[in-house]
Structure 1
């Protein structure tokens, strides 16, 4: 039975490159500034590549007194292309700032348990997409050495920097548009996936507030819709029973599902029923009729990475609170 050889060390790299271990550390951690010449840098990197050596993150963290780890806590809800792109851009920006970002899987359970699991990794910063973090959980993270805790959810959490995604405005934009188009019997899709409640609830409230503030004789009806073809058929039948002349379909995917079912049932879109989605997916613009939608914009990854760096450098800075989301209605043929 062959034994596995021990992993290469910085001493091995130093011997092969003909330099000191300190020089290896300077080069591979990019901390030497101009003190190491370019030829020496290339020699060290070539030796590291030849040996398959990579720096030990835990040892580096011990020397620095903190980790360079940023924990991005995933959502149990389907986050879609908008947030997938946002996370990808943010991870690239954090890397440029010298951080290692890790996408942590969705955390189930309540109370402080999710925060205890995150704290075990001793991250320098935590960005939590869902509103599952509690004030006590924020305290656990800070006591474990986490210098910045940011929530990217639908509500702020005391003790954390809160970047709020105001889903209410998504529904309000859709509702105002449908009212302006003369629609008065508006259905609002409520997804069957309960993980989406944190988004669908405020969006529904946004449509209701648009109707209430308009002063018009209009009504809002809830339209349950599971993400299946069978449920789409049932929702289309429900639309006709309720005499709806418009639907805000939660997002573009649910909108496309409902539109197909309505068209199969002989409903003319938008003459009989106008449909609006949200997310502004490319596929929605390829439909016939093209799908009206609420476009949502998130801050650039570089902006958020710079904020993380600032908060890690100065954990005592004034709490940051702000709206993370801006919305605009994209009008197309479906409404």
Structure 2
């Protein structure tokens, strides 16, 4: 046979061109076989079923088998069995709300995870109430925790509940019909700050109002609270969260005729206080300064920063309220006892 008549050999595959087939997706039956238990037991253990008593050694065997195989329960199938998801939707803020609230939200998310909820953060920048609610509803959350940066209506709450949300929880200065309302009186923060300054003999008070969008939920009632204090002459002072904006405000301070400043929170207060000192103004002799949130760093400044301390609920406490609202969706409540405020006098006033 001639060389040309031989059947040509197929070319060898180029290195890396043929990927191996993906391994089969492990199933609950695989976990059951490896652990030596039934598929029902696997389901009870991995879904944290409380109604079924299973020994700790068996639970450990199931979890170890699932980890060895890389098995993860199918969320959609689980939702069909339960009639709802375990998603708690948390619309995220796009503005600097401060370390106090950031710590609170982190605690909340950890506590919800320990209760077997899946926390989904949703960026809602630029969405109106109706647009945001339609986007949230597509995820079929079992609960929504709205921090108030998007105003919700009773119709919005009804839309979420028709989509399967068993509870809608709002945090803000006012409640929303149909929602579990955790009313946090931000006006009291302004009252405490201005009253403290008036007691210290300072009546002409500049209240720093952040220029960043989305903080109106906090800043507007704090300004209103300061204005309600007898003897306080209040001027609203817009300021951005930047050294440049603080410097611009400090450069104009002498012409404003003010002898005190209540900054929106400790971070804005620290920015302004540093800028005032750079302008040669003495704190507190020329300008008394008070913030809010009682951050540790405020106590490290010189002079030490006076502040309004907020007593907020723990993340674990709010998570338990969310869990109760999911289990008992008909009990719509409104709570007004979740935040207290007190002025803390230090060297800056």
Residues 142-171 of structure 1 show CA distances to partners (whole Å, capped at 9, x for unaligned) of 111111111112322222121122211111
Counterpart of 2:100? 82
Q: Distance in 2 between matches of 1:188 and 1:142?
A: 40
Aligned residues: 330
SS at match of 2:348: coil
Choose from 256, 270, 281 the match for 1:256. 270
Q: Report the secondary structure of 1:49's partner residue.
A: helix
RMSD: 1.8
**Aligned-residue offset at 1:295:** 1.0
Counterpart in the other structure of 1:69: 87
> What's 2:192 paired with?
173
2:291 corresponds to 1:273: no
Q: Taking structure 1 as reference, are residues 97 and 271 closer, same or farther at Cα in structure 2, changes over 3 Å only? A: same
Native 8 Å contact 1:166 1:323 kept in 2: no
Cα shift at 1:111: 3.8
Which residue number corresponds to residue 184 of structure 1?
Answer: 203
**Partner residue of 2:183?**
164
Structure 1 residues 14-23 or 28-37, which shifts more? 28-37
Q: What per-residue deviation string (whole Å, max 9, x for no partner) do you get for residues 24-66 of structure 1?
A: 1122223276754444333322221111112112211111112
* Distance (whole Å) between structure 2 residues aligned to residue 233 and residue 262 of structure 1: 8
Q: Residue deviations 1:255-299, cap 9 Å, x none?
A: 111111111111111011100011111111100000001111211
Name the SS for the 1:126 alignment partner: strand
Rounded to whole Å, the distance in 2 between the matches of 1:184 and 1:314 is: 49
User: 1:41 maps to what in 2?
Assistant: 59
Report the alpha carbon displacement of residue 323 of structure 1 after superposing the two structures with TM: 4.7
Conservation of the 8 A alpha-carbon contact between 1:107 and 1:114: no
Q: Given that residues 183 and 334 in structure 2 are in contact (C-alpha distance below 8 angstroms), is that contact kept between their aligned partners in structure 1?
A: no
Deviation at 1:95, TM superposition (A): 2.5
1:193 alignment counterpart: 212
Residue 78 (structure 1) shift = 1.8
- Aligned partner of 1:56 among 74, 96, 103: 74
Whether the aligned pair in 1 keeps the contact of 2:97 and 2:215 (CA below 8 Å) is no
Counterpart pick for 2:141 among 123, 135, 160:
123
Q: What are the ranges of 5 or more consecutive residues in structure 2 without an aligned counterpart?
A: 1-17
1:235-270 superposed Cα distances (whole Å, 9 cap, x missing partner): 112221112110001111111111111111111110
Structure 2 CA distance for aligned equivalents of residues 200 and 145 of structure 1: 33
Q: How far, CA to CA, are the matches of 1:228 and 1:90 in structure 2?
A: 29
User: 1 CA distance for matches of 2:65 and 2:257?
Assistant: 73
| Residue pairs, 1:1-335, within 5 angstroms | 1-2=18-19, 3-31=21-49, 35-130=53-148, 131-210=150-229, 214=230, 216=231, 218-335=232-349
Q: Distance in 2 between matches of 1:182 and 1:122?
A: 55
Tell me by how many angstroms 1:110 deviates: 1.4
The one-character-per-residue Cα deviations of 1:114-161 (angstroms, maximum 9, x if unpaired) are 111111111111110024222211111111111111111232222212
Determine helix, strand or coil for the equivalent of 2:291. Answer: strand
Q: TM-score, normalised by structure 2?
A: 0.89
What's the TM-score once normalised by structure 1's chain length? 0.92
- In the alignment, is the contact (CA less than 8 A) between 1:294 and 1:328 conserved in 2? yes
8 Å Cα contact 2:124/2:132 also seen in 1: no
- How many angstroms apart in 1 are the aligned matches of 2:238 and 2:81? 55
Rg comparison, structure with higher value: 2
Measured in 2, the distance between the counterparts of 1:39 and 1:242 equals: 72
